[in-house]
Amino acid sequence: MIACDVFTDEINAFASLKKPGWKILKLLEMGLHDQPNRLREDIQAQIAEVEADAEIEAIAFAYGRCGNGLVGVRAGRVPLILPQAHDCISILLGGKDRHDALLKENPGTYFYSPGWVREKRVPGPDREAYLRDLYKERFEQDEEMIEDLIEVDREMFAHNNCAAYVSITDSPQARSYCHECAKFLGWKHRELPGEEGFLHALLSGEWQDDSRFVIIHPGEKLGADTDGSLIAEPATTS
């Protein structure tokens, strides 16, 4: 399995469900969907590294489409199994249909989860400090550029009005932090029950449901349909 670090808590909580024979679990840095080309390159490199082990028969991913960062990833020697999901929130909610329905109900919803709360990258009292540190590393003393980028970030969330906490594990601290973020931002606060069955199926190897999983066989790559669904395509397709 290759997984986003955002799922650390959930994977640890459900470790006993892991498919017998799991040999490798690689956790990659969360937030790479903001750099989809880098995410795609990192995933492809990880696939090559894992496939070098002759005992590996398949690679499962705790990733969704993730800003198209997974689209174009190619299967080499073994099949790739991916959740039919927009991103980690779709997986925690039980699927992209529920995710879509909630956004249709309120397009201003921003979803929080234990993993995102842990890194303090979500909109709230700590995000600006996180971004300042990040931008100072990249742009050193260019204070004007740093301020401009932070203002762009603020504007990015101007349409949001609701902090919705989604979890399938018990994390009182993360739940409380989401509530704190909502108060800080002047947003509504909502708690949404997660649906653990999706992640359970992924970990236990129950990948037969094609409404939940797409399998990319050797010679194929991951594509996306016009409705956003993930599909398998011939690797030679441009």
Segment 127-182, tens digit of pLDDT: 988 888 888 888 877 888 899 999 999 899 999 999 999 999 989 999 999 999 99
pLDDT digits (tens, 9 = 90+) for 174-204: 999 999 999 999 999 999 999 999 999 999 9
Helix axis angle, 143-156 to 127-139, nearest 10°: 140
**Position with higher pLDDT, 43 vs 237:** 43
**Domain shared by 68 and 18, yes or no:** yes
This prediction has a pTM of 0.89
CB distance 79 to 218 below 8 Å: yes
Pairing of strands 230-234, 220-224: antiparallel
Claim to verify: residue 206 and residue 175 sit in the same structural domain? no
Q: Are 53 and 125 in the same domain?
A: no
Same domain membership, residue 203 and residue 188: no
Length of the chain: 238
Burial class (CB in 10 A: 0-12, 13-18, 19+), 112: buried
213 and 200, same structural domain? yes
Domain tally for the chain? 2
Q: Do both 74 and 137 map to the same domain?
A: no
Are residues 216 and 230 both part of a single domain? yes
pLDDT tens digits for range 9-55? 998 888 888 777 787 678 888 877 777 888 999 999 999 999 999 99
Residue 213 structural domain: 2-89+196-234
